[in-house]
Amino acid sequence: MRILVTNDDGIYGPGLEVLEAIANELSSDVWVVAPQAEESGASHSLTLAEPLRLRQYTERRFAVKGTPTDCVVMALKKVMPEPPHLVLSGVNRGQNLADDVTYSGTIAAAMEGTALGVMSFALSQSYGFQKREKGEKPVIHWETAKRHGADVVRRLYGLPLGAGTLLNINFPDCPPERVTGVEITTQGKRDQNLLLVDERIDARGNPYFWLGFKREMSNPASGTDLRAIMDEAISVTPLHLNLTQIEVMDTLREALAKSA
């Protein structure tokens, strides 16, 4: 099995090393094509207004000065002599759950692999769910993704998912021995708006802004990705490239027919 490994945290991201270890458990034919710098929140963006720069480190390890989507395109169209059988994106530093999936460059890389006809999984390591003292930094349990990742991927690889389907895999915020199992989940919906704009003042007295997310606990519905992670289970959510809301199409047709 030939595997392409990529991410959105960049070629030096700690989760990329974890994902390479996972991929190496599954195959001896592993290729890495990742962004030169962090591209978190890049979503499914494609670089069109400037050239892409490709840097080669070893025979099968490359960095692209571009987005995660650019990396998958370059890997399949330029770098790899033959297409991969599987694209693995991650392991992301932080969860990609619920509303997060529309922002995520990690998921976008898997989307691009899927669009190009390759089975693709996005992997993320959750953190920030455990209670901690004020000012205490959260612990990221990379060992959880590392221990369970290869087994989960092995069990899911090759299943008939259908065209346009990718898998979003999130590992819970706990040590590996506390994982309660693997759950197939739906994409959840946060019950609060966690996006914030932090305004600051620079040395010249001018304002600048940081976008970020508040870390607040919620009470998500059973069966969702959010609930699985809160219950310390591995969440596997099938996502689809086709975003059409089928259920509302008849309503729209009827409304247009009446107003014609």
pLDDT digits (tens, 9 = 90+) for 96-144: 999 889 999 999 999 999 999 999 999 999 998 887 667 678 899 999 9
Quick: pLDDT tens for 131-141: 766 767 889 99
Domain range list for the chain = 2-188+219-259
Tell whether the model's pLDDT for residue 213 goes beyond 80.
no
The band of 41, judged by pLDDT with boundaries at 50, 70 and 90, is: confident
Per CATH, the homologous superfamily of domain 2-188+219-259 is Survival protein SurE-like phosphatase/nucleotidase (3.40.1210.10)
- Give yes or no for a cis peptide into 91 (omega within 30° of 0): yes
Note the pTM of the prediction, 2 decimals. Answer: 0.92
Residues in the chain: 260
What 190-196 contacts at long range (C-beta under 8 Å, 24+ apart), as own/partner pairs, is 190/98, 190/99, 190/218, 190/220, 190/226, 191/218, 191/219, 191/220, 192/216, 192/218
Tell whether the model's pLDDT for residue 28 goes beyond 90.
yes
What single letter denotes the amino acid at residue 165? T
List beta partners, residue 129: none
**pLDDT for res 193:** 64
Quick: pLDDT tens for 157-208: 999 999 999 999 999 999 999 999 999 999 998 765 677 899 999 999 999 9
